[in-house]
Structure 1
């Protein structure tokens, strides 16, 4: 191998290692819900190539209102699934969809798009 091949191979391996770290091991910010009037915990979530924020922390026993604003027309993001709460919602493009749920049990609950490619997590404490 000549020097150029070694440099290209090394750069490719470094890039592959960064991609693996970013998608599987990097820390994701957790957002705590804000308690609004009436004790409802509210969180605004933007849907655009993923969920932002994608990790949401709420308190058990208090009603939760998730506001999903879909800022794209990508077909993957047109449906929201919260299987633990038996919730399936269509998310119209460039509109806000409210999802209300009563988290009665502590735990971690995943939510996804209809295809399972976009992922988020609801952490109930």
Structure 2
């Protein structure tokens, strides 16, 4: 009887964690790019996801996102900005500079090559 109760409780905890993981509201780090010499850039680390997940850029100032992939999984070996027509390979432990057109304000998404991990780009 005690064993069944323990199994039931462990199962409920696992189900609760899964629900929280997939449906819970998670805080995403939001970082504004540094602007200097009429250009802006921001570093994004790729390691089990993107850090920061949300990047804020100023409209009309040339921008570069510097992606550095630490994660060796094949899922994160590409970054795709479908709104900008960008689909770029991310070599492990190398920085890949991606130029972003900041002429149009709005919110844009980026994702890994398998569309499992996402980030958000806000131009304002």
TM-score range, shorter-chain basis?
A: 0.7 to 0.9
Q: Identify if the C-alpha distance between structure 1 residues 15 and 39 changes in structure 2 by more than 3 Å, giving closer, same or farther.
A: farther
TM-score (norm 2): 0.85
Per the alignment, residue 114 of structure 1 pairs with 113
Q: CA deviation at 1:16?
A: 2.3
Per the alignment, residue 14 of structure 1 pairs with 13
Matches for 1:56-75 after TM superposition, within 5 Å? 56-75=55-74
Q: What SS is found at the alignment partner of 1:94?
A: coil
Q: Which runs of 5+ in 2 are unaligned?
A: none
Report Cα offsets for 1:40-74 as digits up to 9, x if no partner.
22110111221111111122222211000011322
8-17 or 23-32, which deviates more: 8-17
User: Are 2:52 and 1:53 aligned?
Assistant: yes
80-89 or 5-14, which deviates more: 5-14
Q: What SS is found at the alignment partner of 2:37?
A: helix
Q: CA deviation at 1:11?
A: 3.3
Q: Give yes or no for contact 2:39–2:62 (8 Å, CA) kept in 1.
A: yes
Q: What SS is found at the alignment partner of 1:66?
A: strand
